[in-house]
Structure 1
Amino acid sequence: MTRFEECAAMLKGIAHYERSHRPWAAFLDDEARAEVDPHWVRSKKWQGVISRHTTPALARVCAEQKLPLVDLNDCPPLDGVAKIRPDNLALGHLGAEHFLERGYRYFGFSGFADQGWSGERRDGFVEALALAGHSCDVQDVAYPGDLTPFWDARQIATLSPWLKRIPKPCAIMACNDMRALQVISAAQTAGFLVPEEVAVLGTNNDTIRCELAYPPLSSVATNAFQSGYQAAEHLAALMAGETAELLDRRIEPLGVVTRQSTDILAMGDRNVAAAVSYIREHACHGICVEQVLKQAFASRSQLEKKFRRYIGRSPQAEIRRVQVAKIRQLLFETNFPLKKIAELAGFEHVEYMCVVFKRLTGDSPGNYRKKVQNKNLPKR
């Protein structure tokens, strides 16, 4: 996630712990003074620290002041500092499983060679593919730290020839959502359809970045809320004088949030690809099969036959599947009322949307929303 979105989710987890336990008088260091200014840390008698971007300087001053410190940064642990971070191997495994379920046989991973968290995600992706009997083409580069439009353009130019070498249709996982957007741009620059020829999956589920992408980016969601909650829980134990083994806890991901960049099955028929692409972009606008036929340049009987062969359902069923996927996304990511969700998913009547959703998922929209919201609650 972007720093803002991830930190906001972590703060919500911390606040949830604080509300359900003994209240804290917390100070939010918006300017990150504690990371670089030891005098600032010494200026007040703090009782404990949770840090998202922990530096060796901050760790040293906390040790000097005997301040309990919990580190939420996704990097190798500092000596004597408790750490909570994402389970990066599991993130990679989920990415591989997402693509394998869609029938892909050719895979790639693009990440940053000098970042440990990226390497762990790559290793999890490659390992899961190997267990299923598949290989993976890896393209790693050094992360510059200071991102500029010029570096972004150079990366797209480097990624395009790499993508051309991988047989199509192929599935590419990126180490984070920013890298995934570069992969999408590189694929489009090389003339490939996304996701019909190159499916792209990001990591972190930075929802703003994912939704601004074209097509919208699927991403493996970390659980920053749970990271924040467990950091607060562990800090409370340290402040209470409890002694424990040095912590380096990995937080399980929430799962894959599917958007258009991977919302397709691997296929080699251009008529079906064109039809599926049109459905993907317009299903939530209330389209009918006749409109799809015009885009696929095929008769209804031909297209029905090809759909059954390649994706195992009719064009009408595919329209409904895309609509239901949109409903699930909105139930997961927003608090919109059902009437608004029906409108955004292409249903004129909310009652009919509820009937379709329950028929295809076995759950009412209300029950589904409760389930996905409960996944974010702290584990006891």
Structure 2
Amino acid sequence: MARVLEGSSRKVLIATSIASREYLRGIARRARECDWHLVTDMMFTGVPPRGWKGSGILALLPHPPDLLTHSPWPGIPCVAVTGADLPATVPRVDSDHGAIGRSAADHFLERGYRSFAWAPFLNDAANRDRLSGFQARLAEHGCECRELAPTHSRIGPYWQDNWAELRRNLLAELQRLPRPAAVLAFNDCAAANVVDVCRDAGLAVPEDVAVLGVGNSVVCETSPVPLSSVDDDPEEIGYRAAGLLESLMTGAEAPVETVRVPPKGIVTRVSTDVLAVNDPRVSRALYYIAEHYRDPMLTVSEVASAVSMSRRNLERSFRQETGRTINEHIMSIRMREASRLLKTHPRVKSADIAALVGIPGEGTFFRAFRRHFSMSPRTHRDWSAQSCVSSRPNEPELGAASNGASPTAA
């Protein structure tokens, strides 16, 4: 028998001309739970549908500049999924830009950097908030951050770019940075531009300049040097925005403050996959460890042999450069990867994760994990799950680090 469709489904307009697949995936997940009908005409026409009558609106950038300030559908609940400067009356779900900045600072500080720069995309509120978080965490460690010129400039809806001049200025600023330097860019687009200009300036990435983007987009894999990137969790942003719209359509009060979604983590690729060290032999040892830490038979003697040094000389140089022993560094990498796997693969057994990070035996893994994190793997996993706003279905299979991430992914 043919299925008879109910007529009670809410109709929700996706108000944007282009929509990220990740945002849409989160919106669609919530739409299925709430039995919505999503109206996507604007994604193909770029024009608000005249005479449309529906229940709610999800507005994603880019959308017509005055869509949220002079809506053609007054009285219909609307939630913005955007980083743009908007009137305070528009409910909004957005990235936690401060948390992204702090996470990026931690990523660089863990690698020993003391020279930092910020590469904005625009001079808007989202860029300023992200920079503020980055600067605040660096200040806690006695560090400052230089500000590079924005990749683009805009007055209202109009872009005011001089590509050649912007690149000349960026090249000169990068050459003046004390090296090794670490650059946080507002997004992957700005980060890829920094990498490209570094090549023109004769600066090696990541040896001279480490570069970190935000968004974990396809740009990361197409950059001349594969880009490390903060995963800002757009699927969760879309899901949370749809959830907020559902509550507004059922009569709930709109939140006064923007709903902020924390980043999911950092996917480490080549552009930051290095510690800031001056001794090239120690640098080679770090690379060797990053490539082989999954081997449970990895030893300090093997690392020393790989870089053509005596064990004693390498251990002394390694401690001078990094402040810890080789064995401590190997265990730190294994524990960081174990933490990531516990968070992203909640159904995988601890014994299997132990094997994936090069620790033979669940008992040995349990004791090492407790020493490192002051909690058991199970407690760590439960704590991580409670920190997330929702779980992720359909996780990828375990194996080598996903998305091109290096084994040292944070």
The number of aligned residues is 360
Map 1:1-380 → 2, pairs under 5 A: 3-9=20-26, 11-12=28-29, 14=30, 19=33, 23-27=34-38, 29=40, 32-33=43-44, 36-39=47-50, 42-43=51-52, 45-53=53-61, 54-56=63-65, 58-59=67-68, 63-64=72-73, 66-77=75-86, 80-100=89-109, 102-113=111-122, 116-126=125-135, 128-129=137-138, 132-142=142-152, 162-184=173-195, 187=198, 194-206=205-217, 217-224=227-234, 227-228=237-238, 230-242=240-252, 244=254, 247-254=256-263, 256-257=265-266, 259=268, 261-262=271-272, 265-286=275-296, 287-334=298-345, 337-338=348-349, 341-342=353-354, 344-347=356-359, 352-377=364-389
Q: How far is 1:354 from its partner?
A: 4.7
Query: With CA pairs under 8 Å and 6+ residues apart, which has the higher RCO, 1 or 2?
Result: 1
Q: CA deviation at 1:162?
A: 4.2
Report the Cα offset of residue 272 of structure 1. 1.5
Q: 1:288 to 1:333 in 2, by over 3 A?
A: same
1:294 positional shift = 3.0
Q: Letter of the 2:379 partner, please give it.
A: N
- The structural deviation recorded for 1:192 is 5.2
What is the CA–CA distance in structure 2 between the aligned matches of 1:288 and 1:364, rounded to whole Å?
26
Note closer, same or farther for the CA distance 1:116–1:239 as it changes in structure 2 (3 Å cut).
same
Contact 1:86 1:222 in 2 (8 A): yes
Richer in helix (by share):
1
Q: Which structure 1 segments of 5+ residues have no match? A: 146-150
Provide the C-alpha distance between the structure 2 equivalents of 1:315 and 1:214, rounded to a whole number of angstroms. Answer: 31
Checking the alignment, whether the CA contact within 8 Å between 1:223 and 1:376 is kept in structure 2 is no
Distance in 1 of aligned mates of 2:365 and 2:221: 23
Farther off after superposition, 170-179 or 278-287: 278-287
Structure 2 residues without counterparts, runs of 5 or longer = 1-18, 158-162, 391-410
Larger CA deviation: 107-116 vs 349-358: 349-358
Measure how far apart 1:116 and its partner are. Answer: 4.7
Letter aligned with residue 372 of structure 1 = S
CA distance in 2, matches of 1:127, 1:237: 34
213-222 vs 232-241, which deviates more? 213-222
Q: Residue 181 and residue 323 in structure 1: after superposition, are their counterparts in 2 closer, same or farther (change >3 A)?
A: farther
Percent of pairs with identical residues: 29
**Contact 1:36/1:58, CA 8 A, preserved across alignment:** no
Counterpart-to-counterpart distance in 2, 1:216 and 1:370: 32
TM-superposed deviation, 1:178: 3.5
TM-score scaled by structure 2? 0.70
* Cα pair distance change 1:278/1:216, threshold 3 Å: farther
C-alpha distance 324-93 of structure 1, shift in aligned 2 (>3 A):
closer
Are the equivalent residues in 2 in contact too, given 1:34–1:58 (CA < 8 A)?
no
Hey, what's the Cα distance between the residues in 1 that align with 2:186 and 2:246?
33
Amino acid at match of 1:369: R
| Residue identity matched to 2:85 | P
> Given that residues 85 and 251 in structure 1 are in contact (C-alpha distance below 8 angstroms), is that contact kept between their aligned partners in structure 2?
yes
Structure 2 letter corresponding to 1:277: Y
- Of residues 28-37 and 77-86 in structure 1, the stretch that sits farther from structure 2 once superposed is 28-37
Indicate how the Cα distance of structure 1 residues 136 and 303 shifts in structure 2: closer, same or farther if over 3 A, else same. Answer: same
Distance of aligned partners of 1:25 and 1:217 in 2 relative to their CA distance in 1, 3 Å threshold:
same
Q: Deviations over 1:271-310 (max 9, x none)?
A: 2222112212332345332332134332111111122222
Are the counterparts in 1 of residues 118 and 145 from structure 2 also a CA contact under 8 Å? no
Matched residues in 2 for 1:125 and 1:264: separation?
20
Distance in 2 separating the partners of 1:363 and 1:216: 34
CA distance 1:271–1:130, shift in 2 (3 Å): same
Q: Do the aligned partners of residues 363 and 197 (structure 1) sit closer, same or farther apart at CA in structure 2, a change above 3 Å counting?
A: farther
The aligned residue for residue 148 of structure 1 is none
Q: Is the 8 A contact 2:237 2:261 kept in 1?
A: no
